[in-house]
A and B are shown apart, each in its own frame.
Chain A
Amino acid sequence: MISPIDALSTLVALSGVFFLGYYLLVHTNYFVLYLLALTELRESAREREYEPVYQPFGSQFLPGVAVIAPAYNEAETIVDNVRSLLAVKYADKEVIVVNDGSTDETFDRLDAEYDLRPIDAEYPLEIPTEQVRRIYQSAVAEELLVVDKENGGKSDALNAGIWITEQQLFCAIDADSIVDRDGLLEVVQPFLEAPRETVATGGAVWAANGCDIQNGVVQSFAPPSNSLADIQVVEYLRAFYAGRLGLSRLNALIIISGAFGVFRTDIVREIGGYRHDTVTEDLDLVLRIHRHAAEADRDYRVEFVAEPIVWTEVPESVRTLGRQRRRWYRGLVESLVTHRDMIGDRQYGRVGT
């Protein structure tokens, strides 16, 4: 007969073994990932020491990029943020702001600042989104296009831009984020180095809370005064410079942040663009790109680039943070369930295994 004390001791001992095993497994995994990330970062830093003797902006071989920024009720910040996007250095760039049925003054402020002129005709192609009311071109910034459409959500707005642009690549960016001036050229770099293989790239997201931002340009970085935001600064650094960099080295990167990613336009159109029925459309898109490329038996790469930075405000209250994280984890579970057939399937390479 086993006494209750003996049974309890055994239970405690067994659970100790379980947790220790779990601890070792998880941390070994992280350790390997960090080592890979360090190697990747070191190589990337060494690669950057060499600056080719040419002017990429003067080259005719730089792929054209459409920067697509969906905007819904962003009246307070839209003018500064569009100014920041227009200031990004890149030779063949088109900025498409998609006004996703805003109910505030987002469109009016854009019109007042950038002198928008309507393209006096109906767009001739079918776009798989909510109705596009009209497309405008700025009279003061030739590369700025504003698409005014009925509200359909972020995915819908991004899809409108993807279907309208004729550029080879598009950069999906949140309208309330700020990109470093050289950021676009840096995030496009893998497309320049391996034009055939590269299908998607993403840069790092940093917390803008505490930064000195003037006219849509980050003048100086300072840690946020809010302790919750401070923790997120460290969390973002770990997630981008350890996790994503390591996974990118393995070609197993399954997410490119919706705040800043560059994709091949034709491939994203082929797979039907962003899905509307998921809360983490960015994660779902990258998973579908992996699926599409692997099933076509294509030699491809989805890369994280360490240098380019996009700045975004992170939540400063527990309530907002909780809401954001619930959305992220719900999206993660949704995507894992949707793409469960990829798990463990060797056809999908390291993403599957």
Chain B
Amino acid sequence: MLQLPLPLDAFRLVYWIGIVLTVALAVLGVGIVVRVVRTERDHNRREALKPDLRTGLFDRLRRDAPDWDSWADGLTATERDVLRELLNEHLRLLEGSDRDRLQPLAAALGVDRWAIRTLETDDRYTKLTALGWLALLDHPHDPTLIERTCSEDAALRAAGARVMLEQEYANATEHGIRLLLDDPTESLTAFGLDTLYELTRSLPDSLAGHTRTRHEDWTPTLLVQVLRVLRTAAPMDIDSSLEWIVDQCEHESPAVRAAAIRALADSGWRAELRSRVTVEALTNDRSPAVRTATYQTLGAWRVPEACERLAHAARTERNPRCRLSAVRAFSHNRCHDRLESDLQHEFSRQWNWVAATRRLRETP
């Protein structure tokens, strides 16, 4: 008989590895099944408790003295846990006095103290849950604690800034801006963007001021996001803020140039500002995104000088999609009849499309 090319020990080793792996997988499988069954049973038990607890919650909410403390003290640990879930749900749904009357229940369940304590934890997800609670509760605390403990990533910073917004701190805007824009290399989440907008929508100059002094370290993406918030917020009063945005129209990144010219869409009534914007350079920009943004802004300005620019842009534009934007912006403007009929004739295909879609929108 021939000797096998591998020693018998190697087969034994493989054999035992197979056995160990099979047993390990079997144990893992059984473990998972046991866990799933337990979780499902627990879930059903909790769901069964909800109707009574919800009734109890609304019943007490209608009373003059809800006496949340004694109710919470009389509940089992599972019931308290389910009640916390219901409280979270209803704090998001209710408004006004009902919401105010529900707040002491959080204290009775110890949620506020737990949330503050949890800010010091290293567990990101638990910390996010705690921040979610703090945004719902009227529990006074030090905003610097949030700044100190919630700056690890974009999601935590957004959640922390939201707490500042919801709690309406005296300096919420400043603290919130600082926290959200703490990392110059990380872009904001959609939630972070919304929070930045809500914090600054009535005071956009403070955001513009912060950005003016810090933006050089930022990634273009972050700068674009902030410019987008500035565009959506209320018009700025301070000329230096607008001047800074005008300067960004010459930024090296096309995305920033496009966002900057878009941010000026609502400021077209300022003749001095319009004269400072290098519209010609922007309509000749290499990037189609910048040219499209410029046409849209010119359309929003609704001033006679924009008509000439847009008509010229439509004639010289090489990119068909950008040309359509120019024609659309032109049609939104109040341009004089001669120019309009010329453009209508030269770009009948684009013009007819824009007119047809508008007609359809306006048809009841």
A interface with B by C-beta (< 8 Å): 2, 6-7, 9-10, 13-14, 17, 20, 24, 27, 31, 43, 46-47, 49-54, 56, 59-63, 117, 119-126, 137, 139, 191-196
Partner of B357, one of A2, A31, A61, A119: A119
Chain B contacts for A20, CB-based, 8 A = 14, 18
Please state if B356 and A13 are interface contacts (CB–CB under 8 Å): no
Please state if B356 and A121 are interface contacts (CB–CB under 8 Å): yes
Chain B contacts for A194, CB-based, 8 A = 187, 189
Closest to B255 in A: A196
Q: A196–B189 Cα gap in the complex (Å)? A: 10
Partner of B356, one of A43, A51, A54, A119: A119
Q: A123–B321 Cα gap in the complex (Å)? A: 11
Chain B contacts for A193, CB-based, 8 A = 154-155, 189-190
B92 at the interface (CB under 8 A from A): yes
Partner of A196, one of B1, B221, B355: B221
B145 at the interface (CB under 8 A from A): no
Least CB distance from A18 to B in Å reads 11
Partner of A192, one of B162, B191, B195, B228: B191
Chain B contacts for A14, CB-based, 8 A = 5
Least CB distance from B349 to A in Å reads 5
Please state if A47 and B125 are interface contacts (CB–CB under 8 Å): yes
Closest to B1 in A: A6
B297 at the interface (CB under 8 A from A): no
Least CB distance from A273 to B in Å reads 14
Please state if A27 and B21 are interface contacts (CB–CB under 8 Å): yes
Interface residues of B in 6-34 (CB under 8 A from A): 6, 14, 17-18, 21, 25
Chain A contacts for B363, CB-based, 8 A = 117, 139
Least CB distance from B109 to A in Å reads 17
Q: A54–B165 Cα gap in the complex (Å)? A: 11
Least CB distance from A43 to B in Å reads 8
Please state if B356 and A59 are interface contacts (CB–CB under 8 Å): no
Please state if A53 and B92 are interface contacts (CB–CB under 8 Å): yes
Closest to B364 in A: A139
User: Given A53-B162, A117-B360, A117-B363: A124 and B21 within 8 A (CB)?
Assistant: no
Please state if A124 and B2 are interface contacts (CB–CB under 8 Å): no
Interface residues of B in 201-248 (CB under 8 A from A): 219, 221, 225, 228, 232
Please state if A52 and B191 are interface contacts (CB–CB under 8 Å): yes
Closest to A188 in B: B190
Q: A66–B221 Cα gap in the complex (Å)? A: 23
Q: A47–B188 Cα gap in the complex (Å)? A: 17
Q: Nearest 7 A-B pairs (CB), nearest first?
A: A192-B190, A121-B356, A50-B128, A121-B352, A53-B135, A46-B125, A61-B193
Q: A59–B190 Cα gap in the complex (Å)? A: 9
Closest to A269 in B: B321
Please state if A122 and B352 are interface contacts (CB–CB under 8 Å): yes
Please state if B159 and A121 are interface contacts (CB–CB under 8 Å): no
Partner of A119, one of B132, B154, B324, B360: B360
B310 at the interface (CB under 8 A from A): no
Chain B contacts for A195, CB-based, 8 A = 187-190, 221, 225
Please state if A120 and B356 are interface contacts (CB–CB under 8 Å): yes
Q: A86–B195 Cα gap in the complex (Å)? A: 29
Other A-B contacts than A6-B2, A46-B125, 10 sampled, CB-CB below 8 A, are A10-B5, A20-B18, A27-B21, A49-B128, A54-B162, A56-B191, A119-B360, A124-B353, A194-B187, A194-B189
Please state if B353 and A119 are interface contacts (CB–CB under 8 Å): yes
Q: A346–B135 Cα gap in the complex (Å)? A: 45
User: Given A24-B17, A53-B162: A125 and B190 within 8 A (CB)?
Assistant: no
Chain A contacts for B6, CB-based, 8 A = 17
Closest to B355 in A: A121
B320 at the interface (CB under 8 A from A): yes
Encode contact with A along B324-364: 1 for CB under 8 Å, 0 otherwise.
Answer: 10000000000000000000000001101101110110010
